[in-house]
Amino acid sequence: MRLASIACAAGAVSGAARAQEVFVGAFEHGTNLHIGAGDEEEGIDAQLGFRTEPLGRRILFGRPRAYGFVSINTSSDTNFAAAGLLWSRDFGSRLYGQAGVGLAIHDGAVNRADTKGNPNKIVFGSRVLFAPELGLGWRISRRLALEASYVHVSNAHIWTDVNPGMDDVGARLVYQW
């Protein structure tokens, strides 16, 4: 229920822009890519999210879209919700890439006491984490796309020295209005 509230708050980030895309995905939780050390947890993350149409203002590399998603772990490990900005680039009529940066809030362990002695829990060091992501997509049709995506959550050592981070890798099915 707490994550549902967070997801609603993430939707508010988009302001006056409206959802242009919705997506559902499946991600390997805590993938060991040797980028984040947090691979103690396991399972599959079910992802559900939205993206807005491009915002009216140019920010950095162009006109980003606001996004938000929830990621629910099937093994009762850490769940999180993220929201931020995403920039896309077409590489032809069907292939596209995207990069985003946002913030995430999770329900996992913040400090060692939160693990209750379970060594298979990631200690994130803070409740709020950075959430950069990279993706590569293929437009199947005018309305459907399939994406491969990488999401990293980490506090970047800004709030604490504890910062294992976590990597999720998976696929999304995207529906565009």
| DSSP codes, 2-67 | HHHHHHHHHHHTTTT--EEEEEEEEEETT---SSSS--S--SEEEEEEEEESPPSS-BTTB--EEE
Does the pLDDT value for residue 54 go beyond 60? yes
Which one is predicted more confidently, 11 or 119?
A: 119
Helix (H) and strand (E) counts for the chain?
1, 9
pTM of the model: 0.84
Q: What is the mean pLDDT of residues 20-30?
A: 94
**Residue bearing the bigger pLDDT, 76 or 6:** 76
CA 6/CA 42 separation, integer angstroms = 23
Q: Which among 140, 138, 134, 132 is positioned nearest to 91, based on CA atoms? A: 138
Beta-carbon neighbour count of residue 74 at 10 Å? Answer: 12
Q: Which domains does the chain have, with CATH numbers?
A: 2-176 (2.40.160.20)
Which residues in 97-116 are b (16+ Cβ under 10 Å) and which e? ebebebebbbebbbeeeebe
Distance (Å, rounded) from C-alpha 1 to C-alpha 163? Answer: 26
Q: In a 3-state reduction of DSSP, which class is residue 132?
A: coil
pLDDT of amino acid 19: 67
- Percentage of the chain beyond pLDDT 70 is 86
* Mean pLDDT of all residues in 135-155: 96
As a whole number, mean pLDDT of residues 151-177 equals 89
